[in-house]
């Protein structure tokens, strides 16, 4: 069995308790078959919407990204209540009626909270990129962009682009017992990347850069090959083909 090629180390990990709200930087992700434990477990949906995409996102209400959700028991996101720090600094339970009312006003339609334990994803459950790819985007845009715009679960400090890993496997930590991800395909981007994570202001030029210089793709979608933990500082090894690992 190959030991793989060391390609970098984990420099950022985050989960998103509520779809389209601010992320929660963490020191460790618990990778399960359904993705990162606690990631996008909740969402607000537009009441009565029966489309394939009923979720309320910052594309409809940019101020969503200014809401900061927090698990009261971060070690047990499946059962933990969630509080949300609003843009005004008020801390409310996620299911507080005042929060739903405020978001309904921002969205221009009634919304309600739902919970889906396996996560609420647009496509695949885990997203990652590399420092090299983010630097390339900054260079193309001629201005540094906050990485939070791209809402990644994992950023790897690496000289490689994650696009070169498609079809392969990433192993985290030492030995063969740690978490492993199948790196599947590029993440197509939408207007979410135009929204400043600190102000909610839109900058359409960001999407123009991504579309024009990177075929509208930033980052890679992944799926779990082996459950385990992914920690800040973990060494990352690459295996070019799944069957060899």
pLDDT tens digits, one per residue of 28-77: 999 999 999 999 999 999 998 888 889 999 999 999 999 999 999 999 99
Q: pLDDT tens-digit profile of 118-150?
A: 889 988 999 999 999 999 999 999 999 999 999
> 176 or 9: whose pLDDT is higher?
9
pLDDT score, position 108: 94
Query: Could you give the CA distance from residue 16 to residue 2 in angstroms, rounded to a whole number?
Result: 34
Is residue 129 within 8 Å of residue 219, measured between CB atoms?
A: yes
pLDDT 10s digits, 96-112 = 999 999 999 999 999 99
Assess contact for 22 and 67: CB atoms under 8 A.
yes
Could you tell me which of 54, 51, 43 has the C-alpha nearest to residue 116?
Answer: 43
184-210 pLDDT, tens digit per residue, is: 999 999 999 999 999 999 999 999 999
| Residue 184 falls in which region: left (phi positive, over 0), alpha (psi -120 to 50) or beta | alpha
Q: What is the pTM of this model?
A: 0.94
β-bridge partners, 45: 55, 112
The CATH homologous superfamily for domain 5-244 is PK beta-barrel domain-like (2.40.33.20)
Task: Report residue 147: phi and psi, to 5°.
Answer: -60, -20
User: φ, ψ for residue 174 (rounded to 5)?
Assistant: -95, 150
Task: Give the helix/strand (H/E) hosting 69.
Answer: strand 68-71
- Whether 175 has a pLDDT exceeding 90, the answer reads no
């Amino acid at each position: 069995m190959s030991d793989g090629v060391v390609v970098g180390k984990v420099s950022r990990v985050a989960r998103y308790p509520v779809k389209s709200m601010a992320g929660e930087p963490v020191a460790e992700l618990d990778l399960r078959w359904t993705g990162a434990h606690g990631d996008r477990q909740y969402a607000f949906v537009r009441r009565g919407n029966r489309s394939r995409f009923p979720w309320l996102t910052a594309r409809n209400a940019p101020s969503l990204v200014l809401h900061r959700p927090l698990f009261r028991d971060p070690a047990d996101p499946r059962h933990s209540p969630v509080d949300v720090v609003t843009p005004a600094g008020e801390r409310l339970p996620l299911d507080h009626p005042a929060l739903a009312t405020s978001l309904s006003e921002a969205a221009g339609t009634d919304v309600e909270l739902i919970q889906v334990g396996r996560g609420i994803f647009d496509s695949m459950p885990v997203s990652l990129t590399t420092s090299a790819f983010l630097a390339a985007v900054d260079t193309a845009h001629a201005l540094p962009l906050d990485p939070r715009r791209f809402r990644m679960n994992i950023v790897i400090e690496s000289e490689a682009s994650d696009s070169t890993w498609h079809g392969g496997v990433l192993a985290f930590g030492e030995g063969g017992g740690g978490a492993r991800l199948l790196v599947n395909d590029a993440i197509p981007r939408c207007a979410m990347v135009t929204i400043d994570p600190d102000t909610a202001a839109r900058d359409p030029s960001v999407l123009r850069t991504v579309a024009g210089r990177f075929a509208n793709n930033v980052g890679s979608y992944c799926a779990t090959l082996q459950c385990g933990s992914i920690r800040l500082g973990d060494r990352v090894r690459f295996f070019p083909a799944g069957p060899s690992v």
